[in-house]
Structure formats: C-alpha cells, structure tokens
Amino acid sequence: MRFVQIEQQKITFDQIALKDYQVRGDYHQKVLDFCHAWLNGQTTFTLHTSGSTGKPKPITLQREQLLASIWMTDQALGLQAMHNALVCINTEYIGGKMMLARCLELGLNMYVVKPSSNPFQELPDNLTIDFSALVPLQLQQILEHPQSKYMLNSLQSVIVGGAPVSQQLQKELQALNVLVYQTYGMTETVSHIALKALNGNSASTLYHTLDQVKISLDERNCLVIEAPSTNFAKIITNDVVKLHSENSFEWIGRYDHVINSGGVKIQLEEVERAVENLFAGEGYTANFLLGAVPDQALGEKLVLLMEDQPWPQKQQDQLTRQLRQKMDKYHMPKAIHFLEEFPKTASGKTDRTRAFQAIEQD
C-alpha cells in the first residue's frame, strides 16, 4: 500500500484521493492538497518561479508537461515503485512539487519533512531511503553529521539543485557509494532537463540532457531548450554555456552576471570558481559572492562579498595579497565587504540583488 508519511502519520494514496486526512500546519496541508489534486486528475497547475534571478512570477503548467518530466527522470534514474523517497525541499516550488508528482505517478512511498539544513535528522535511524532531492546546503550539512552521512550513503541516487555544488563539496562526494547528480532546469522547463554526475564511474564536468531534449545556442551563446516537458516550445535561457555535443554542455554562468568594469567584461561565475579554489586551498570557510557596485571611474567595479562578521584589517590584507597572487588584475576584486547573513528568496536561494543592495546602502 503506497503512502505519504508526515510527522509519524502514514496516509495512503487511497486516503489522499478521497481527502480522508487531517494534518497540522499549512505546509503539510498544501502538500496533501497537491497530492489530492494530482490523484484526482487535475489538468493544470500554477507554480511560481524561485525569484533568484528576478521577481517571482506565476507559471501555469499542463499535467502532460509534468508527466513528460516524470518519465524523462524515470528513464534516466530508474526509479521504482514501492521504493522510499525523502521529500525535503520546498514543495511550493518546482523542484519540490515535482518530487511529489514523481512519487505519486511512479508509486514511491514518500516521507515528507519540512525543509531544514539536515532533514535526515528528522528520520528514524533504521529507515531505508532510496531516492531524494537536496540543495547543496543540505548535502553539506548531512556530510558533516556521521549518522546522516551513513543514511545518505545507503540511498541509490540523489539529485541536487537550486545552486551550484562547490568544488570542495564535490570532492567529498567521491568517497560515497550513493550516486549524486547535479540538475539543470527551471520552472519553465518543468524541473530538470539535464543531469551532471558528480561522483561514481560516470562523473563528469558536463551536463547530459534527458531523452528527447534538444539544445542549441542563441546569438548570446545562451542555452535554448526544446523538450517534451515544454511541449517542444523553445525556452530561451540566460545561461551562457559551451556545447560539447548535441546532448551535452558545460555551464559557464549567467548572461546577466556579466559586468563591464572599465570596458572589461567579466563573467562573475568564472571569477567565483577561481576564488573558490583559493578559499579551499587556504582553508577559508565563509560563503561568498562576487558582484558589481557603481564606481565613478570604472562605471562598475568587481567586489567580493563575504557572509561573515567583518574581518580584522590584517586578515583582510592577507586575503587581498593572496587574491592578487592568484588572479590577473582585471579579475581581481577591488574591495572586500561583509554581511553577517546573506538575504534569501522565499525558496531559500541566496538573493544576490538584495545582498549587493545592502552593501551599497552602507
């Protein structure tokens, strides 16, 4: 008997279809209401974009689009009926919503917990989970907790999305047996349309598209997607990529994350990867962002923003020297700023725009 378990309460799919359930809290109520709608054949669903690259906006998707996404993922990962799935990312957004729909359609049992930094701590130690979707922050916290790491390693597969996986985190994944995949997708493509293996024999630096997905570039070198989940309508993204084949690509960064500093165009994600390498080598653990602030001489200048208490000037000077040794002058941050905590969007992603607005107001 397939079921959804919420706070020790096991509710069968049949009960959900009949709306024979009662749970505490608005979050879990919305989870079950979506499940009820799906099991009763609802044909359209309105979701909201995450808001990480702009104001969140509603998007109406057809049931057939969600079904196409489900079958593409199933073909790639081989999900099996009656296996156990942990649903622990925000179900208000496409990633979490599709976890619910996959489990309902493919017949996986669901253990639903509210999003937290380490959702495995909400589970009994003897429970076997086969599949889950996580964000990088959750994955990092799980690896730092021995029992949670042990439970994670018993899964068959994990998909990770919502933010890039750091090089240090990917390095830690190499010792695990569970297969971990970084996802590429968005609300408009009805969750992911490509996967990148982060560990195991198939580990790669490239994303590989799911079945029947067609990819191309526009004049900006941004990815254009046609997929079963978009009804083969073209989705033009703002993601700058390098195509390696008709079904594989390397993600470079966001087109709207290119800054022009004194006539030099800088792709922020490329500089972030270089800073990430330096931080890993020097043992710095603070989260950071790179971005632009207005500058009278350069138009806009590149700055490093760190999620931490302000460092003593001596330590800041040391970091500046280390950056200067590793980076060319055009990609060298012109200033270092600090925020105690980065602002987040409603979906839990770092809000870059508000973060840099905060330092401009200081």
Q: What is the pLDDT of residues 211-226, one digit of tens each?
A: 999 999 999 999 999 9
Confidence of residue 313 (pLDDT cuts 50, 70, 90): very high
Residue 103 pLDDT > 80: yes
> 3-state SS of the chain: helix, strand, coil percent to 5?
35, 30, 35
Mean predicted confidence (pLDDT) in 290-303: 91
CA dihedral 277, 348, 254, 338 (to 10 degrees): -50
Instruction: Find the range with the poorest average confidence among 48-52, 307-311, 333-337.
Output: 48-52
Query: pTM to 2 decimals?
Result: 0.89
Residue 123 CA to residue 112 CA, distance in Å, equals 10
**Please, which residues have CB within 8 angstroms of residue 158's CB and are 6 or more apart in sequence?**
131, 132, 133, 134, 139, 152, 178, 179, 180, 181
Average pLDDT over residues 345-349: 77
Tell me what the mean pLDDT of segment 136-165 comes to: 95
Q: Where are the domains of the chain?
A: 3-253, 262-361
Topology of domain 3-253 in CATH is: Rossmann fold (3.40.50)
For the stretch 286-296, pLDDT in tens is 999 999 988 88
Read out DSSP for 230-277? GTT--EEEEEEEEEEETTEEEEEEEGGGEEEETTEEEEHHHHHHHHHH
What pLDDT sits at residue 225? 98
Q: CA-CA distance, 172 to 328, in Å (whole number)?
A: 29
CATH superfamily of 262-361: ANL, C-terminal domain (3.30.300.30)
Per-residue pLDDT tens digits for 20-74 = 999 999 999 999 999 999 999 999 999 988 655 556 789 999 999 999 999 999 9
The mean pLDDT of 318-346, rounded to a whole number, is 92
**In the prediction, which pLDDT does 346 show?**
75
What average pLDDT does this structure show over 328-334? 91
